Amino acid sequence: MSPAPTGSSAERPSIGRRTVLGAAAAAASAPALLGLSTPASAAPAPAGPRALPGGGDLGPNVIVFDPSTPGIQAKLDEVFRQQESAQFGTGRYALLFKPGTYNGLNAQLGFYTSIAGLGLSPDDTTINGDVTVDAGWFNGNATQNFWRSAENLALVPVNGTNRWAVAQAAPFRRMHVRGGLNLSPNGYGWASGGYIADSRIDGQVGPYSQQQWYTRDSAIGSWLNGVWNMVFSGVEGAPAQSFPNPPYTTLNTTPVSREKPFLYLSGSEYRVFLPEKRTNARGVTWGNGTPRGTSLPLSQFYVAKPGVSAATLNQALAQGLHLLLTPGIYHVDQPIQVNRAGTVVLGLGYATLIPDNGVTALKVADVDGVRLAGLLIDAGPVNSATLLEVGPRGATTDHSANPTTVQDVFVRIGGAGAGKATTSMVINSRHTIVDHTWIWRADHGTGVGWDTNRADYGIVVNGDDVLATGLFVEHFNKYDVQWYGQRGRTIFFQNEKAYDAPNQAAVQNGSVKGYAAYKVGDAVTTHEGWGLGSYCYYNVNPAIVQHHGFSAPNTPGVKFHDLLVVSLGGQGQYERVINETGAPTSGTSTVPSTVVSYP
């Protein structure tokens, strides 16, 4: 997502596409080696590193408050001043609130800032005040309010409604808003989000100018409106199915879900809670008191600080420790290798992995129950074949009882500097749940150009029975999504084709004009998707034609519900929505072309 600048080129990162949208308003036991060292009388060990300790402090960029902490508002304001417009900066922060009640706060969140309560339930930590995201830094345009999050808090907004005007990669999880929630910026400027899960909003949710949104396993008082694509699964109070007018796609339940792991306090001890898997889920997990699941003490985690080597992280994993990555940037010169079932890799404050020398940042073996959460993977300047791999190629193990989850794991190629990756995310393990990801080839920032931040493919799904809930993939040079596994399902998809294609030949896919945003492999016999949208904005060459947004085998077992394609102001056009079905986009009018059911 990238808006048009409203000032000199020095003031804004790039020309983008919002000029046309004004009217579109399982728990492991304690590691055996933990804390042991060689006795003084023992002979020198011939090899092997000393065992790494678990636990420890959370580092300088995790700021912990309790209700008696002096100067809370001043500290919140200080972090916000630093992070408000630091879109591609290096600062990373987690703001954590111990259980209790806090009065008169307004926590404004900038880039790479996470705010969270430390109770088992959001109602354990109440802020009589607001957690605010607005767009003053960008002249009222919220389409670049990326990379920030709110979790596990109860809010009593000062004026009755909390403002959360975000774009991609800004999850709102496990929140209780005792009032309404406004998803647009002050002045109702452009906005392009977003994601809510496991949350209760007692009042009305007003998206206003938000183009698209996905809400999962939550409860809301009411929902005000929709622009292009509003998707709900397992949401009490959701509007009825009515796509395309209004553009609501509503599923009564979510087929499979398992909420994100989170840090909490048990007395004075930090622990990580691991919510249990739910099938046919509806509503919040915490509504009846203590949530269901298990927990791990922090002593079973290697608490990593920026500057640690990949070799040390892998040593910790080999010892049987989980990983807690405190806020900051981690360069890895070899893949972080998760080989043990049930391993948790949890990032705080948008902990960021950068692969050096073209390695893959993180690889997961074909094992049960791995949980990856709260990470940003930023491609390095040397091309990586892949950035994240879940399972090896050819993985076939059944993980239905205890799937791997990939939650709030975001990928970026370019923007903070030149980066390259052939394929960003590869899912090979069966039954994997990809729950909220934004896989982004940058369209603005530094190191951006058709070949400068070359990235041909966004996500490739080879594993069977994979479920994606909240899939955002944008701007890849070729296919954004390729799905080759059987029985795959996607609930909500948001895409933009690459803005910067120089000409038709650059995106020509054999005899087909352009690469589909979402391609289901020819051999797939069963697949289903709900609420999927693709947009084009070919601002370098507006004459480019994209034949369709979606490509899939024309077979009864491959089904789509509520598809749309949009040409943003006539900067490029779609001829069809899916395969040869659906009307072409209509000139310069930014109006979706829709298909309610396919085939």
- Active-site amino acid positions: 496
E-state strands within 497-567: 508-509, 512-513, 518-520, 527-536, 545-546, 550-551, 558-567
- Closest listed residue to residue 227, CA positions, set 183, 173, 171, 172: 183
Element (H, E) at 317: helix 310-319
DSSP, residue by residue, 342-399 = T-EEEEEEEEEEEESTT--SEEE-S-S--EEEEEEEE--SSPEEEEEEES-TT-----
Provide the token pair at 58. Answer: 């959370």
Integer Cα distance of 345 and 365 in angstroms = 13
Give the list of residues 6+ apart from residue 510 with CB closer than 8 angstroms, or none.
none
Q: How many Cβ atoms sit within 10 Å of the Cβ of residue 295?
A: 16
Taking a C-beta distance cutoff of 8 angstroms, is the pair 193, 172 a contact?
Answer: no
Cα of first residue to Cα of last residue in the chain, in angstroms, is 30
Identity at 1, one-letter amino acid code: M
φ and ψ at residue 123, rounded to 5 degrees = -70, -5
| Total count of residues recorded for the chain | 599
Cα–Cα distances in Å, from 598 out to 63, 214, 526, 527, 578?
50, 21, 13, 11, 8
Cα–Cα distances in Å, from 215 out to 1, 87, 234, 470?
20, 25, 8, 8
Q: In which residue are the tokens 């392009």 written?
A: 192
